[in-house]
Amino acid sequence: MSDTPRYTTAVGRRKTASARVKLTPADKNSVMVNGMTARDYFGTAERDGITLDSFKVLESKKNYTIEARVQGGGKSAQAVAVRHAISRALLNDDAEGIAARPALKSAGFLKRDPRAVERKKPGLRKARKRPQWSKR
């Protein structure tokens, strides 16, 4: 029995969205997000395609079954969080490994998007919007 794991896991994030991904070698690529296919979960082909961008950049011949659990944020942020997690998992995978890093890094798939909503300040209507001022 070999001591290599049957699957690779990673966490990806964008803004307030968080995705936990499990990559398992398979015959063809398939993505399941929260128990649904990525196409059904995200609703558009564009967001569905974002999840597989890592494989397009690498032009990978290896196929995986991808199981993702996402929470927080909106659908677009969740799709990018899944892509981030897949990219990180591919780096941890023995087959792809170190050769994948330069391509994924130059495509920007290893960078976490740290932006978040700014907090509301006291005395203001929103984070920066001030109450209307009148002279009289």
User: Model-level pTM?
Assistant: 0.87
- For the 8-107 domain, the top CATH level (class) is alpha beta
- State yes or no: pLDDT of 123 exceeds 80: yes
User: Cα–Cα distance between 14 and 112 in angstroms, integer?
Assistant: 6
- Give the C-alpha separation, 99 to 97, whole Å: 6
Sheet-wide strand order for 30-33? 8-14, 17-26, 63-71, 30-33, 36-37
Tens digit of each residue's pLDDT (9 = 90 or more) over 2-14: 555 688 999 999 9
Question: Model confidence over 44-101: pLDDT tens digits?
Answer: 999 999 999 998 998 888 889 999 999 999 999 999 999 999 999 998 886 666 788 8
Amino acid occupying residue 105:
K
> CB 89: neighbour CB atoms within 10 A?
23
